Each structure stands twice: as structure tokens, then as C-alpha cells.
Structure 1
Amino acid sequence: MSADRFNVGHIEYGSEIYGPGKRTVIWFQGCSLGCKGCWNTQYQSDKPASLIPASELLETILDQGNDVTFLGGEPLQQIGNLSWLVDKLNQYGVHIMLYTGYELEEIEADPQKRELCQKVDILIPGRYRDELRDTNLLWRGSQNQPLIYLHDPQQTKDENQVEITIKPDGSVTCLGYPSEELIKHINSLDYISL
């Protein structure tokens, strides 16, 4: 994999549940942390998914005109490119939210991780803990993950949000941390009529 390319698992445009306002949400491909009960297992493998040049990913984000959220996989395992991207986005005033499975202590102990994390607006650190799963939290999956507003004055009420998209072909995408009851209900639908 080229040093100037991101390994990206998925990009969602115009989401409203991974941070405040409308956002471009980027799931990085590759994570070696292996959290038990991981919600995004499809992004754990570091095999190339979609290799996107750094400059192209920057343009994609800027062209959308939205703020951005990075998650994965593990964004900090592509830290060289991500540091460059965060610096560029800061120059354009893009609001940045970052999920990472690294604990605060691990971030503080690594100068490169610490420097990058200090440049984002909202940070959600900590490994997902299946035994602490809580679908009532805002933007987080388990109770041990703090919601840290670094440069963001618009703190929000701490409650869960789920986004359901019905595509023209009838397929349904569910983002966020839906409750088991909601997942069962969606899976029970034979069809959706509008």
C-alpha cells in the first residue's frame, strides 16, 4: 500500500448521527485491537478495501461541504496520512470528530497520537467493551468510552441516535447503535411501503 493512500472501508455522505450536524463519515479499513463484540468487524482486516489517494480524500470531504467523522477499523493505525489530513481540514475550518479504540493512557504515551488527537474537535477514545454496551449513549457503544469535547463549544445531550436509510432499491441501511429490539423489528419487515 502506498504511503500517500488511505485504506478506506466505507464512506457515508450526509449522515446526522456520528457527530453534530450533517457529516461525511469515513470508516478506515484495518484494526488490530480486536475488541470483543466489535460492532464493525468488516473493517478489522487490513487487506486493501478502497485505496484512496490522500489528496483525493481531502477533496471528497471538502466537496461535500460537511464536517467529518473518522472511525473504523482504527483511524490511528493510518496515523501518518491522518495527521496530514487533519492538518489540512483544520486549515479549512472543518469540524472533526475522531473515534479511536486506543485508551487515553495509550494516546498520552505516544507523542504522534497525542498531537493528532489534540487537533480534533470531539474525541471518543477507548476500546469497545461488549459487557458495557449501552444503546442509550450519544455517539458511543459502551459506557467506558468518554465523549471529549476538545475544541467544540456545542455540547449535546447524551442520548443515543440511530439513522435508518431506505435506498431506492428497497435495501435498508442502519447506522449508529440500534437496540436489539429495533434490529429485530427491521429484520422482520418483509417490505417497506411508503
Structure 2
Amino acid sequence: MNLEISRLHHPVTALGPGVRAGIWVQGCTIGCHGCLARDTWERRPERALPVAEILGWLAGLPRPLDGVTVSGGEPLQQAAAVADLLAGIHEWRGAQPLDVLLFTGYPWSRAARETAVVERCDAVVAGPYVARRNRGDVPLRGSDNQRVVALTALGRARYGPGVKLPARGLQASVADGRIWFVGIPRAGDLERVAAGLTARDVRVGGTTWD
């Protein structure tokens, strides 16, 4: 089975605890106003990869690896392929304490219906991004309407009630002459980043959040 992919990245340190692998799927019709990753909205069949190839990429990453974060785009709009991927991750990780965290723009009541996907997740961050509710520092969430749902013993240990979750922030990387930001910005963070780059004579154009 193939899965349309926006990008694969390691290490990821801004979307869950520890050092993680990040998998961003391509394609989303939810279209939240203020989305950081509008470049992931359009479906791109030419970017489809066999699930086995993605699993091979994961298996070749250096250790230690604390988790895998799946985001997008919208993973649940490719639910069958994502379920296939997560089944492979579940088998590959074995007894390792390596968690699977999935981000979806659907509310939990809708996301929970995709049982083949969520039964292979340790935790899910669910809900659309609402720009006017991006306030304070709500860990792992871009807006305070979103919900962190811990689903397994490992998920509850890392994401459950009373657990101190990582603060929001951005991780930068450079590839193909472009700067990529990974993470969950606070209100005004992207504007401050753009202003800082401009002040250092770095041209800012073609941003994915406009």
C-alpha cells in the first residue's frame, strides 16, 4: 500500500517527548485558518511512497529513538494506508518503549471512529486549529480547543493527566535552500521569526502559512 508523503524527518524534538521520527502525510481538506503547513493541503499522488519504504527508513535511523510522530496534512484522510504503516511500526518496535503520537484536525469524536488507526497509537492530539484560541502555552496543541488523548499504558505515562508535556516551540532545519520549521508556534512566533530573518538579510518569501 502507498501513502502520500509531504516529508520524513529525523531528529524531531518539538512534537512529543524525546528524540523522534516525524512523518508528515500529504493532503488535507479541513483547511484550518492560520495553518502552519498549507503546503501539505493539496493531494500529491506523485509523492506516494510504499509503506514498506517508509518502514525501511525508520528502521535505518540511529538510536536512541523515543517515538514516532505522524502529522500532516491529515492522516485520517489516508486512513487505510496510515493504519498499514502503524501496524508495521507496531511490529517493528516490539517491546521498545517507543511511542506513536498522531495529530489530526478532526475532533476526537470523529477520529475515534478510525479504529484501525487509533488502536495502533499511544496518544492522539485531536481537533481543528482555531487561531483565536491560540493563547498561552498549551503543550502539544496549537489552540486550546484541541485535546490530547492517551490510549495505552505508554501513552498515559508520557501524555496522560498530570504529566508535564513539552512546551510549545519551533525546531528549524535547512534543506534544498529552504528553511523548514517543525513544531507548534505560539501566537506571533512566525511573524517574529520572519522579522528576525529579514533583519539578518535573509529573504523571506513563499511561506507556507500565508
Shorter-chain TM range is: 0.7 to 0.9
Matched residue, 1:181: 192
TM-score by length of 2: 0.78
Matched residue, 1:5: 2
- Percentage of matched positions with identical amino acids: 25
Taking the aligned partners of 2:22 and 2:7, their CA distance within structure 1 comes to 8
Taking the aligned partners of 2:9 and 2:134, their CA distance within structure 1 comes to 24
Matched residue, 2:103: 99
Shift of 1:118: 3.0
After superposition, the Cα gap between the structure-2 partners of 1:36 and 1:171, relative to the gap in structure 1 and judged at 3 Å, is closer
The answer to whether the 8 A contact 1:135-1:160 is kept is no
Letter in 2 for 1:159: A
Alpha carbon RMSD of aligned pairs, Å?
Answer: 2.2
Please list every run of at least 4 consecutive aligned residues from structure 1 whose deviation after the TM superposition is greater than 4 angstroms: 167-171
Listed one character per residue, the Cα deviations across residues 67-121 of structure 1 (whole Å, up to 9, x for unaligned) are 211111101111111111111211233421100011112124x3xx134213211
Task: Give the length in aligned residue pairs.
Answer: 184
After superposition, the Cα gap between the structure-2 partners of 1:43 and 1:170, relative to the gap in structure 1 and judged at 3 Å, is closer
Taking the aligned partners of 2:106 and 2:175, their CA distance within structure 1 comes to 38
Matched residue, 2:164: 156
The answer to whether the 8 A contact 1:25-1:69 is kept is yes
User: Within 5 Å, which residues of 2 pair with 1:44-193?
Assistant: 44-64=41-61, 65=63, 66=65, 67-93=67-93, 94-108=98-112, 110=113, 113-134=114-135, 136-151=137-152, 152=155, 153-154=157-158, 155-157=163-165, 159-165=167-173, 167=174, 172-178=179-185, 179=189, 180-190=191-201
The answer to whether the 8 A contact 1:135-1:177 is kept is no
SS of the equivalent of 1:137 reads coil
Taking the aligned partners of 1:181 and 1:53, their CA distance within structure 2 comes to 38
Unaligned runs of 5+ in 1: none
The answer to whether the 8 A contact 2:138-2:167 is kept is yes
SS of the equivalent of 2:89 reads helix
SS of the equivalent of 2:53 reads helix
Listed one character per residue, the Cα deviations across residues 6-59 of structure 1 (whole Å, up to 9, x for unaligned) are 110111111111111111111100111122222211000013252211111111
Shift of 1:174: 2.6
The answer to whether the 8 A contact 2:104-2:128 is kept is yes
Listed one character per residue, the Cα deviations across residues 105-146 of structure 1 (whole Å, up to 9, x for unaligned) are 2124x3xx1342132112101111122123622222111111
After superposition, the Cα gap between the structure-2 partners of 1:40 and 1:172, relative to the gap in structure 1 and judged at 3 Å, is closer
- Structure 1 window deviating more from structure 2 (60-69 vs 182-191): it is 182-191
Of structures 1 and 2, the one with the larger relative CO (CA 8 A, separation 6+) is 2
The answer to whether the 8 A contact 1:5-1:52 is kept is yes
- Structure 1 window deviating more from structure 2 (51-60 vs 130-139): it is 130-139
